Amino acid sequence: MIDLIIENGTLIDGTGAPRRICDVGVVNGRIAMLGDLGGLPAHQRFNASARIVAPGFIDVHTHDDRLLLNRVEGPHPKLSQGVTTVVTGNCGISLAPLVTARPPSPLDLLGDDAWHFARFADYLDALDASRPALNAACLVGHSTLRVRHVANLERPATSDETSRMAHDLDDALTAGALGLSTGLYYPPARAASTREVIEVGRPLSAARGIVTMHLRDEADAIDEALREALQIGRELAIDTIVSHHKLVGRSNHGRSAATLAMFEDAAQHQSVCFDCYPYNASSTMLLPARVKQSDEVLVTWSKADPSAAGHSLFRLAEERDVSPEVLARRLAPAGAVYFAMSEEDVGRILAHPMSMVGSDGLAHDVQPHPRLWGTFPRVLGHYARERQLFSLETAVHKMTGLSARRFGLHKRGVITPGHCADIVVFDEHHIADRATFTHPTLACAGIDAVFVNGRLAYRDGEPHDVHAGQVIRRAH
């Protein structure tokens, strides 16, 4: 007997193909059959009349390493959006392998009390034991490896330090990590040379792992930074994914036409793509150097002054009679949202055929960027339905089938027999993000139900089975 039939829905299968009316049958957590299943017996039926049935969304750019280990009370920031799988360990920051009580910024974006995994395999085992709400595929952070092995972060790694980082990466790949991520923009990795990253990444070539690159610069020097990322992927002969592609600073508005052309040229000779999020504001650690590039800066958290969270850095600086840069230094360690991007660039990047969707949400910020709660419904509602930047089928493809293929998530991302039954049911006419910069943790509208590995995980605004996720290990 069929375990579950989702009936009478309109199927968008994740491949980019046109929608069609189709029932979906699930057995043992996998999609067993498609078609008219009205006459077949089932233990459970879900009526999806007047609704879209799509693959569960894949958030390819997250910092959910720690969130996955914790039980979330109430609505879940990812399940509530229809996300069923997350990729963690981005921007050079992974929760393992590192044991420390004082992680340097930006590693502290994951908190400072969860860094007790000496081996990447230990972290994956802990994820398994926690029975996570979502499927998790994990990257190893280059910055995490540097903090573990490099005695002086202000210089490139020595050959011995590089060898030890490469050894840890090899161990992690054996345990099931997808690949390596970098954050060359950030202090722990800023001194790393291109050659260091290539040598640390050598195990990726034999393992056919991937590298995701937070570029060394996303502002005036973005062309050079992108060439560096492409060189690393080319020399290692691996799939290269540029993280949250964007152009920062007023002087760089409009340059996405040129950077996208660079991606297109490179794709003729190597495997490359990028992810992005649907907002014209970014969020990361509070950095004085970012202040002058921005029209507005919102403080998301501050250890030195927790009362600053949620307030404008510029307004606080005026009230305290100091420059914004001076205040940024006084508030550190801290996080911020920066309004420094062009909406024209955001739309152009999001619409490009190479782009996937990732939230880059920071789950442990006191006042987080709304992308943590609103990324996927915003693409479906604002950009597909309202702005008609692309079709709904294309939007779903960018969140599912394309993402699964690029990250090597086998048997996921497409609704077809044999694939894992990660499924979202939503109302295409009413799906919308509700999270704002003022109220960033409001759950979206329009998600009816979310199934993770065939189990009902979320329905009508309420969590159900919050332990339906699995750890996705790289296939050997």
Instruction: Report the DSSP beta bridge partners of residue 337.
Output: 283, 298
DSSP string, 391-404: -HHHHHHHHTHHHH
Per-residue confidence (pLDDT) for residue 351, from 0 to 100: 98
- b/e for 454-465, b at 16 or more Cβ within 10 A? bbbbbbeeebbb
Range(s) for CATH 3.30.1490.130 in the chain? 286-338
CB 273 within 8 A of CB 245: no
What pLDDT, in 10s, does the model give residues 435-469? 999 999 999 999 999 999 999 999 999 999 999 99
Right CATH for 286-338 from 3.40.50.10440, 3.30.70.860, 3.30.1490.130, 1.10.287.1080: 3.30.1490.130
- CA distances (Å), 90 to each of 79, 93, 94, 178, 461, in order? 20, 6, 7, 11, 28
Q: Tell me which H or E stretch contains 336.
A: strand 334-339
**What average pLDDT does this structure show over 152-169?**
98
Contact 120, 175 (CB under 8 A): yes
Burial 237-248 (b: 16+ CB within 10 A, else e): ebbbbbbbbbbb
**Per-residue pLDDT, 32:** 98
The reported pLDDT for the residue numbered 330 is 97
Domain 55-285+339-411 CATH (choose: 3.20.20.140, 1.20.120.420, 3.40.50.1390, 3.40.50.410): 3.20.20.140
Contacts of 353 (CB under 8 A, 6+ apart): none
Radius of gyration, CA atoms only, the chain: 21
Residue 2 identity (one-letter amino acid):
I
What backbone phi and psi angles, to 5 degrees, belong to 206? -70, -35
Reported residue count of the chain is 476
For 266-322, how does the pLDDT look when each residue is reduced to its tens digit (9 = 90+)? Answer: 999 999 999 999 999 999 999 999 999 999 999 999 999 999 999 999 999 999 999
What is residue 325's predicted lDDT score, i.e. its pLDDT? Answer: 97
Strands 179-183 and 83-88: unpaired
Contact (Cβ atoms closer than 8 angstroms) between residue 274 and residue 355: yes
What's the pTM? Answer: 0.97
Give the H/E segment covering residue 35.
strand 30-35
Average pLDDT over residues 409-430: 98
- What is residue 235's three-state secondary structure? helix
Name which of 75, 136, 77, 65 is nearest 371 in CA terms: 77
Q: Is pLDDT of 149 > 80?
A: yes
Taking residues 167-193, what's their average pLDDT?
A: 98
A 10 A CB-CB count for 145 gives 28
What are residue 288's phi and psi, to 5 degrees? -55, -35
State the alpha helices, DSSP H only, in 273-342: 288-291, 313-320, 324-331
Give the span between the Cα atoms of 112 and 89, in whole angstroms: 16
Token pair, residue 60, equals: 């390819």
Which residues in the chain are classed under CATH 3.20.20.140?
55-285+339-411
Instruction: Please tell me the predicted confidence (pLDDT) of residue 344.
Output: 98
In this predicted structure, the answer to whether residue 129 has a pLDDT above a threshold of 90 is: yes
SS3 144: helix
Instruction: Give the DSSP H/E element, type plus range, for residue 173.
Output: helix 159-175
Residue 468 identity: A
pLDDT of residue 475: 81
Q: What is the pLDDT of residue 74?
A: 87
Average pLDDT of span 145-149:
98
Render pLDDT for 186-228 as a digit per residue (tens, 0 to 9).
999 999 999 999 999 999 999 999 999 999 999 999 999 999 9
Res 71: pLDDT = 87
Report which DSSP code applies to 386: I
Is 80 exceeded by the pLDDT of residue 476? no
Antiparallel, parallel or unpaired: β 10-11 and 52-55: parallel
pLDDT higher than 90, residue 395: yes
CA 230/CA 150 separation, integer angstroms: 25
Token representation of residue 143: 């910055």
Say if residue 73's pLDDT is above 90.
Answer: no
d(CA 282, CA 293): 12
Q: Is the dihedral of CA 37, 41, 42, 45 positive or negative?
A: positive
Average pLDDT of the residues of the chain: 97
pLDDT digits (tens, 9 = 90+) for 3-44: 999 999 999 999 999 999 999 999 999 999 999 999 899 999
Rounded to an integer, the average pLDDT of 99-105 is 96
